[in-house]
């Protein structure tokens, strides 16, 4: 029996994965397994639910990507238009990767962190002069 679940692609190879329940030796496992490389997440229960939640939990990736964005804010020359455009593209990709929607709490928290870095080094450019203008600039491709 299989149910349609919203599974992310394999974190190792990018292939599609399947969720199923495996029974044997008196043990029942919920399991998500990659169709290509065998990457798997198991959870001891008689449904796939726990395994699916763990498989889809990519918090580590999200933290790493936001750190990359923060480092970019510190290191890039944001007085240059091309760097500002690159920052916006990176932010747009980050929002797509993690299903962030403009003006939600999660979205605003990430953007506030970036602005906290930027206002120290590049608070005034051709694209923004305060946090509200920065917000409008960054969400241009998302709304
Ligand atoms: Zn895989």
Structure tokens at 84: 């500002």
Structure tokens at 54: 């763990």
How confident is the model over 85-113, as a mean pLDDT? 94
Name, of 44-48, 71-75, 95-99, the range with top average pLDDT: 71-75
Closest CA relative to residue 115, chosen from 75, 74, 77: 74
State the distance from the centre of ligand 1 to the C-alpha of 77, rounded, in angstroms. 38
3 state DSSP class of 24: strand
State the distance from the centre of ligand 1 to the C-alpha of 3, rounded, in angstroms. 20
pLDDT of residue 97: 87
How confident is the model over 51-73, as a mean pLDDT? 91
Residues whose beta carbons lie less than 5 angstroms from ion ligand 1: 10, 12-13, 15, 34, 36-37, 39
State pLDDT tens for residues 10-28: 988 889 999 999 998 888 9
Cα(139)–Cα(100) distance, rounded to whole angstroms?
11
Cα(11)–Cα(83) distance, rounded to whole angstroms?
29
Residues in the chain: 143
Q: How confident is residue 34, by pLDDT bands cut at 50, 70 and 90?
A: very high
């Amino acid at each position: 029996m299989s149910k349609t679940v919203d599974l992310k692609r394999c974190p190792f190879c990018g292939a599609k994965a399947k969720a199923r329940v495996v029974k044997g030796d008196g043990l029942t496992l919920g399991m998500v397994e990659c169709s290509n490389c065998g990457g798997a997440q198991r959870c001891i229960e008689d449904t796939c639910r726990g395994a699916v939640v763990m498989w889809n939990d990519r918090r580590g990736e999200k933290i790493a990507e936001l750190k990359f964005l923060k480092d970019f804010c510190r290191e890039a020359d944001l007085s240059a238009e091309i760097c500002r455009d690159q920052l916006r593209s990176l932010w747009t990709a980050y929002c797509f990767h993690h299903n962030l929607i403009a003006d939600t709490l999660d979205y605003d928290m990430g953007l506030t962190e970036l602005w906290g870095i930027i206002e120290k080094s590049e608070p005034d450019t051709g694209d923004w002069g305060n946090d509200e203008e920065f917000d409008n600039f960054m969400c241009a491709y998302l709304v």
